[in-house]
Chain A
């Protein structure tokens, strides 16, 4: 659905814009807040019915669809626990992150 995708960003230097002119940014921040987490969501694949409630309420939109269940992208999941609270089938539990 191309109309629903962002237009590509261009390099201002390639367009002849001096680097000292006006503060602009055309590179996307690569930050991955997954390391903020102290609790991690774990999805019980047997209980997941793919209702997408977790996806709907996830503030960072880190819920990704798998063939038979919804999974969590742990690179961006901040561990807030909303998905576990809201899941109508109790398919997500929060477990403690262990160091390393």
Chain B
């Protein structure tokens, strides 16, 4: 439901346009502004309203795009691969089981260097059967080679979705991007957002050239993705060359994501931390590491803890893939204890996946920093300010040497 609002007594055209919309609609509105060629959709909770908004925008003539109602997520992404190889700017959205069904074309997309943008409305994994939010789906595919950026607010969903196309299509990157928005809290949560002006977005996006590197175009014949590899001849070295190139694109993305965020802020006046956000970290003794929409409540809790004299800050990860190792190491350089809050489970290490990644950053710090893995917000559970107070208190206890030997389950006693 769009609730466009004009400022009373002013001309709408001269003021930023505020609307109230849910995160799923914010993503759809952003997609309309980048003027995509092809959308392919299949509904799944909690993503469904996003594709309904896309369909409505097309039906109302507010977006000139082909929309393919495919028979499943596997075909959804396959349609987009074909369209991208034919030069189209493409978008889709999915979550949880849909992502799992999409996996075969999903983990192929980065290798084809196709700049497809996909909203990942995160959802916890079945089984237990669940239709509610959680990061388990996104975390499960974190080695598939997609760029993944997690949004904190509905406004950030809108702005990041626009930026995602620029990042994906950058010639030094050429990788698909997941804009991750938390199922339920961001997908259906409605908030005030400001829309950028269309002319500004057009100028920001520039000219499109999606398939300059690999095309299915009769006028430019080529074989796309011939067999590469084997155990002799030029194959193995060629395979390695492409893999290294893919890794290089991911590393380039760290720079490009930053540049694009800077340019977006300069043009539209809204600045978001591109890789990691430092919140009240200047003299912080302990740091919380957060991801996604939980961060707002964490910030409120930190403000209250600060008022009570606790030197605590937050390092929020926005860009999770590529993992911002250096930015995180810098952000955490001075702290004495770290509490990482995950909205999913890492089965192999008995800790949260973000915590597990952070262990690698701690190695870079060159000194042992006590850290704890908190796991909460699974399957739609709320992560409240009160929960974060408990996280802050437990993290502070690390300073005294009380380091837990397993994860701390946040909602266990809700």
Contacts and interface: CB of A to CB of B under 8 A. Distances in A.
Asked if the two chains touch in their complex, CB atoms less than 8 Å apart, one says yes
A23 B225 CA distance: 5
B218 A18 contact: no
Chain A to chain B: the 6 pairs with minimum beta-carbon distance, closest first? A20-B245, A25-B223, A22-B214, A22-B113, A25-B226, A26-B222
Interface stretch (A5-13, A50-58, A86-94): A5-13
B241 A20 contact: yes
A23 B228 contact: yes
A9 B221 contact: yes
Contact of A12 (B174, B222, B248): B222
Given A12-B222, A21-B174, A24-B222, 20 more contacts: A7-B219, A7-B220, A9-B221, A16-B212, A17-B213, A19-B241, A20-B241, A20-B242, A20-B244, A20-B248, A21-B214, A21-B249, A22-B111, A22-B112, A22-B174, A22-B213, A22-B225, A23-B224, A24-B213, A26-B221
A18 B224 CA distance: 15
Interface of B: 111-113, 174, 212-214, 218-226, 228, 238, 241-242, 244-245, 248-249
A17 B245 CA distance: 12
A9 B220 CA distance: 6
A7 B222 CA distance: 10
A10 B112 contact: no
Contacts of B218: 7
A96 interface: no
Interface of A: 6-10, 12, 15-26
Contacts of B242: 20-23
A8 B218 CA distance: 10
A99 B245 CA distance: 47
Given A7-B220, A7-B221, A12-B222, A17 B241 contact: no
A25 B238 CA distance: 12
A7 B241 CA distance: 28
B327 to A, nearest CB: 25
Contacts of A7: 218-221
Given A18-B245, A20-B241, A20-B248, A25 B222 contact: yes
Contacts of A10: 220
A67 B220 CA distance: 35
